[in-house]
Structure 1
Amino acid sequence: MIPSSDLCVRAVQSRDRRFDGQFFTAVRTTGIYCRPSCPAPSPKPANMTFYVSAAAAQRAGFRACKRCRPDATPGSPDWDARADVVGRAVRLIDDGVVDREGVPGLARRLGYSERQVERQLVAELGAGPLQLARARRAQTARTLAESTELPLSDVAFAAGFASLRTFNETVQEVYALTPTQLRERAEPRVPRGPTPTTAVPTTAVPTTVWHTITVRLPYRAPLTPDNLFGHLVATAVPGVEEWHDGAYRSTVGLPHGPAIVALAPRDGFVSATLRLADLRDLSAAISRCRRALDLDADPEAVDALLARDPALAPLVASAPGRRVPRTLDPEAFVVRAVLGQQVSTAAARTHAGRLVAALGTPVDDPAGGLTHLFPSAAALADADDAHLAMPAGRRAAVRAVAALVASGELDLRAGADRVRSSGVLGAVPGVGPWTVGTVAMRALGDPDAFVPGDLGVRAGAASLGLPSTPGALTRHAAAWQPWRAYAVQHLWATGDHPVNRMPATTSSDPSTAPEGEQQ
């Protein structure tokens, strides 16, 4: 929802960055739209019109400001947090579903008719799914034009445009520049990665022609990166994830092929170096990275609510802007969560690493030590006992969960119905509340997911003088809604574990991993 007009005007006049991405200001006298923090002189309030999305401003005929680049703002926190059809639709569109499956595919995934989806999106966002996808394609095209040396015809194809004519017209309408002018105006600070990069051939692993692109991922300040990167690295699966040269690196399967991402925290943004087997996956890769690092969160809103609790207030003050470490691969994460039930993090990593070596798809990595994609759900569902060396109950749970993911019954994708998916997972024999809560928090992205039975959460609560039994802690935590997943991060941070610290070495070391969270 757009804030009140008075609040929007004050935000524009004070150039308040906290509102970037939450609304867009269109100026009727100039025909452009801006982010609230645009450094240009503030227009007269009578000339301002406010839109909830860049697509809505574009649909109304406004062009993107060349100075503040409003299409490059962090996403609205509403769409990441909301579990209704509009929030799910926006996440799916960001993940490229409309480009791959069209509006009918989006509607099927949501369980609504195309007309209902269109009506609800226009009512809340001022633009339908085609306009939202068009805005996304325009931003992808801009990123490629500015950060690579690809021929512009390839940029058009990679961004998802059906023709060069549509590509040229869209870029001209949105940016008031031709694609060639976009490239010529690119600021020197924008890195231009080599395109493409061919990995060094080996006899064991098929080589991939990687397209390497480095982009900046903006976020709303403040951000405390310690637990975010510490957690991802301390729980990293060997061969799939690592900490290398100051960046968290991971392989990930995208709709058109494999990718390797490297994410490094910087002042005011996260640097993302993306190696893509297929450039059509650029938008999906950026969307996955933003979700994995929770970059579209509104830290001031979260911190303000949690700080009302006297027990949490000192933690919030000492580490403002904690994010929830999520995952690049939700379907792999649910299997990892089952593997981690009632065992240490080190043991869970060992089990996962064995599965990766035996069943994962090999990947060549020219810049580090990554070797595989995590095994597919279908491969895990059919895995023999030799590859699942664990107690019979957990082995059956892994197979059952993998089969549900492979069949589509357990949906963990960007637009999944979180309540339904949690119910499907919780009905699997051998899967308990800790696993359901952890998957809801880190794979489904539920900002209110809570794991009161987790040992680290209970220990943290006890150290603060809070109730430490699951029932009593849940009752106390009602005041933390709808941000209980963030409270979990603060409770975990009361312990001295690597998950709470930025990695200090060049690679993740399983021997330093903390004891895992347990049911």
Structure 2
Amino acid sequence: MAGRFAPRPTRTTVRGGEVAVPAEVPRQVTAPARVRRWVPEGPLDLGLVLGPLRRGPGDPTFRAARDGSVWRATRTPAGPGTLRVHASGGEVRGEAWGPGAEWLLDGLPDLLGAADEPDAFVPRHRVVALARHHRPGLRLTRTGLVLESLIPSVLEQKVTTYEAYRAWRRLVRGFGEPAPGPAGTGEQPMWVMPAPRTWALIPSWEWHRAGVDDKRASTVLRAVRVAARLEQAVGMPPAEARARLQVVPGIGPWTSAEVVQRSHGAADEVTTGDLHLPGIVGWALAGDRHADDAEMLRLLEPYAGQRHRAARLILLSGNTPARRAPKMPKVDIGLL
């Protein structure tokens, strides 16, 4: 009997006594990357510039590699794409894969702050001046994309970062698609977030399992129905872009600011309505840990035109008041 039949595939026993037979995985051939080289004017710190695009340490759309490169998987107007950025010797090398590769490479300088004007910033407080001195490579990124920042910002409304990051990971991995190129394979593949149509078709119970309440889920669903109109906001001034975003119920000043800071590289769009930021700014600039939004904006008046950059430098300074209250409890509504 030996040799009459082909070898049976390996079986893996799973809980419940069922037997799963793994399907043969076809070998994937990765197309060559498209490459662009760019020389920035002045110092550039990739971690500082691209860090705001990362939604937690396990973000499936973002990876910081040990060799100093940064990987980013996103959905562009031309389709999904993966970008690897590495800086060495004063030069930046960008490699991109997928239908969105050319779009990503065309926007590489803006992504790394070429449209930003850090030299226009004049520190007026010692804390801010020291933070700027220690981080000369800080530039404000401009992604040229709205939805990729809007959806995770909505998920972060009124919850802990742990809950928001968990929801983002689960939804992207569950309904997105593998990143083009080598990043989409291996033990920890990267993922491109779902297309607007896919977001709209996510069942209600999957939002619940991801820990997203009906209010935030409904806001995302309303936004993806007008995704094309929202993406057009990248061609508007930041204030007008925020006004368009806030037409969608559930998107307020906090969320719109968080979006245009990334999509537009908006140096003056400071976040209001945040639980912690007013107290941090108040403490750093005036020793007032109880500052509210109005007081924060008053303290940032000397930085008109650059208020977001000033707030970012204050956050990077580490000069924050000691915690006096316990952290917000972690609540997983998917288990309720």
TM-score range, shorter-chain basis? 0.7 to 0.9
Give 4+ residue runs of structure 1 displaced > 4 Å after superposition: 202-209, 325-329
Q: 2:32 maps to what in 1? A: 211
TM-score normalised by L of structure 1: 0.50
- Is 1:337 matched up with 2:153? yes
Q: For residues 314 and 355 of structure 1, what CA distance do their matches in structure 2 show? A: 40
Query: Which string of whole-angstrom CA distances, capped at 9 and with x for unpartnered residues, describes residues 66-120 of structure 1?
Result: xxxxxxxxxxxxxxxxxxxxxxxxxxxxxxxxxxxxxxxxxxxxxxxxxxxxxxx
> 2:306 aligned with 1:483, yes or no?
yes
Deviation at 1:401, TM superposition (A): 1.5
Alignment of 1:310-459 (within 5 A): 310-327=126-143, 329-363=145-179, 365-367=181-183, 369-389=188-208, 390-405=212-227, 408-412=228-232, 414-459=234-279
Q: Distance in 1 between matches of 2:24 and 2:155?
A: 32
Q: CA 1:453/1:203 → structure 2, altered by over 3 Å: closer, same or farther? A: farther
| 1:482 to 1:208, Cα distance in 2 relative to 1, 3 A | farther
CA root-mean-square deviation = 3.1
Distance apart, 1:300 and its partner CA: 1.8
Which residue identity lines up with residue 386 of structure 1 in the other structure? Answer: W
- Do the aligned partners of 2:49 and 2:112 also contact (CA within 8 Å) in 1? yes
Report the Cα distance in structure 1 between the residues aligned to 2:169 and 2:204, rounded to whole angstroms.
Answer: 16
Superposition deviation, residue 263 in structure 1: 1.5
- Structure 1 residue 311: deviation in Å? 4.7
Distance 1:206 1:288 in 2: 32
Q: Judge conservation of contact 1:331–1:412 (CA < 8 Å) in 2.
A: no
The question of 1:463 aligning with 2:286 is answered: no
- Describe the shift of the 1:206–1:347 C-alpha distance in structure 2 as closer, same or farther (beyond 3 A): farther
Q: SS of 2:34's equivalent?
A: strand
* C-alpha deviation, 1:289, in angstroms: 2.9
Q: Relative to total residues, which structure has the larger helix share, 1 or 2? A: 1
Quote the residue 2:72 is aligned against: 250
TM-score w.r.t. length of structure 2: 0.74
In the TM superposition, what is the alpha-carbon distance from 1:288 to its structure 2 partner?
3.1
Structure 1 residues 224, 384: CA separation in 2 closer, same or farther (over 3 Å shift)?
same
Describe the shift of the 1:209–1:265 C-alpha distance in structure 2 as closer, same or farther (beyond 3 A).
closer
C-alpha displacement of 1:234: 5.7
Q: Contact 2:81/2:97 (CA < 8 Å) preserved in 1? A: yes
Q: C-alpha distance in 2, partners of 1:324/1:232?
A: 11
Helix, strand or coil at the partner of 2:153: helix
Aligned pair in 2 of structure 1 residues 208, 448: CA closer, same or farther (>3 Å)?
farther
* Distance of aligned partners of 1:422 and 1:238 in 2 relative to their CA distance in 1, 3 Å threshold: same
Instruction: Give CA-to-partner distance per residue, 1:129-162, whole Å, 9 cap, x none.
Output: xxxxxxxxxxxxxxxxxxxxxxxxxxxxxxxxxx
Alignment equivalent of 1:473, drawn from 277, 296, 302: 296
Q: 1:344 to 1:287 in 2, by over 3 A?
A: farther
For the residues of structure 2 that align with 1:448 and 1:320, how far apart are their CA atoms? Answer: 19
Asked if residue 273 in structure 1 is aligned to residue 95 in structure 2, the reply is: yes
1:264 and 1:477, CA in 2 relative to 1: closer, same or farther beyond 3 A? Answer: same
Letter matched to residue 435 of structure 1:
T
1:163 — aligned with what? none
3-state SS, counterpart of residue 211 of structure 1? coil
Query: What amino acid sits opposite 1:443 in the alignment?
Result: S
The question of whether the paired residues in 2 share the 8 Å contact of 1:363 and 1:370 is answered with yes
**Could you list the per-position Cα deviations for residues 301-332 of structure 1 after superposition, in whole angstroms to 9, with x for gaps in the alignment?**
22xx2x13455222222323422245474322
The answer on whether the counterparts of 1:422 and 1:436 sit within 8 Å (CA) in structure 2 is yes
Distance 1:364 1:318, change over 3 A: closer
Secondary structure in structure 2 of the residue aligned to 1:312: helix
Percent identical among aligned pairs is 21
Give the aligned partner of residue 62 of structure 2: 241
- Structure 1 regions of 5+ residues with no counterpart? 1-201, 498-514
Q: Name the structure 2 match of 1:299.
A: 118
Aligned residue for 1:272, secondary structure, equals strand
8 Å CA contact retained: 1:223, 1:320: yes
Aligned to 2:326: none
Describe the SS at the equivalent of 2:107. helix
Deviation at 1:431, TM superposition (A): 2.5
